[in-house]
Amino acid sequence: MKLYYSPGASSLAPHIVIHEAGLDIEFDRVDLNTQTTASGHRFGTINPKGNVPALALRTGEVLTEVSVVLEYLADRVPDRRLLPELGTLERYRVQEWVGFIGTELHKGFDPLWDGLMPDTARRLAVQYLQRRLSYLDRCLDGRSYLMGEHFTVADAYCFTVLSWARFHRVDLSDYPAVRAFMQEVSSRPMVRKAMQAEGLMQAA
Ligand SMILES: N[C@@H](CCC(=O)N[C@@H](CS)C(=O)NCC(=O)O)C(=O)O
């Protein structure tokens, strides 16, 4: 299998899960501006949607969409419990979080990447995120991870998306439980390994 990624983008979530799951996978870096891969391919021929992550399977098929790539990876190694067992309520709870992160947080950040965004629109986008962050902060209060004390794919995704807050100067100081969560996840050895591999932090 091969993960197409761009450093620090949402593809960091599956990258973290690959390390947490102990999967042996190849990586190919995508330049999102030129839409080319480090291996010299036009990314559009791999994912016509043009966005990362994309996961090429051994069969030659390509899976896209963060939620699906995370689920597929976690299901390769069920004993790591990165997703609860199929059919359990806990599994739906994790997917509920993945849905919230994808549609409310991940896409909530989208307007902030646009350098031409007028100040008023930027303020509205930040306000939108602040409402979601307040909710998240209440949910994370008194627990290490979204599902309690056990790390799941939802945590990898949440951590990845919220790591963009600093870049966009979205202040997290009003959300102590969110900050504690970011600290907790960033201290996981496999998270550090994924971040180092993407050049996001110095090797220890
Ligand atoms: N719906 C997609 C969204 C992925 C996405 O937004 N990827 C961003 C990076 S975080 C991207 O590749 N943007 C470049 C582009 O769309 O041209 C998913 O869930 O995988």
pLDDT digits (tens, 9 = 90+) for 33-70: 999 999 999 999 999 999 999 999 999 999 999 999 99
Atom of ligand 1 nearest to the CA of 32: 14
Cβ–Cβ < 8 Å for 159, 101: no
- The pLDDT tens digits of the residues spanning 154-204 come to 999 999 999 999 999 999 999 999 999 999 999 999 999 999 999 998 654
65-118 pLDDT tens trace:
999 999 999 999 999 999 999 999 999 999 999 999 999 999 999 999 999 999
Cα→Cα distances 15→63, 111, 125, 140, 144, Å: 14, 24, 27, 23, 21
Per-residue pLDDT, 203: 55
Count CB atoms within 10 A of the CB of residue 141.
13
Which of 183, 198, 171, 179 lies closest to 13, judged by CA?
A: 198
Does ligand 1 come within 6 angstroms of the Cβ of 105? no
CA distances from 51 to 4, 11, 91, 113, 177 (A): 9, 9, 26, 14, 31
Q: Is 112 in the pocket of ligand 1 (CB under 6 A)?
A: no
Q: Which of 120, 134, 116, 119 is nearest to 171 (CA)?
A: 134
Beta bridge partners of 63: 55
Q: What is the pTM of this model?
A: 0.97
Q: Which residue has the tokens 């409310």?
A: 104
Pocket test for ligand 1, best of 3, 4, 5, 10 (most atoms within 8 A of CB): 10
Nearest-angstrom CA–CA distance, 41 and 46? 8
Confidence band for 2, pLDDT divided at 50, 70 and 90: very high
Confidence of residue 138 (pLDDT cuts 50, 70, 90): very high
pLDDT of residue 204: 47
Ligand 1 center to 52 CA (angstroms): 5
Residue 150 pLDDT > 70: yes
Check if the beta carbon of residue 60 is closer than 8 Å to that of residue 46: no
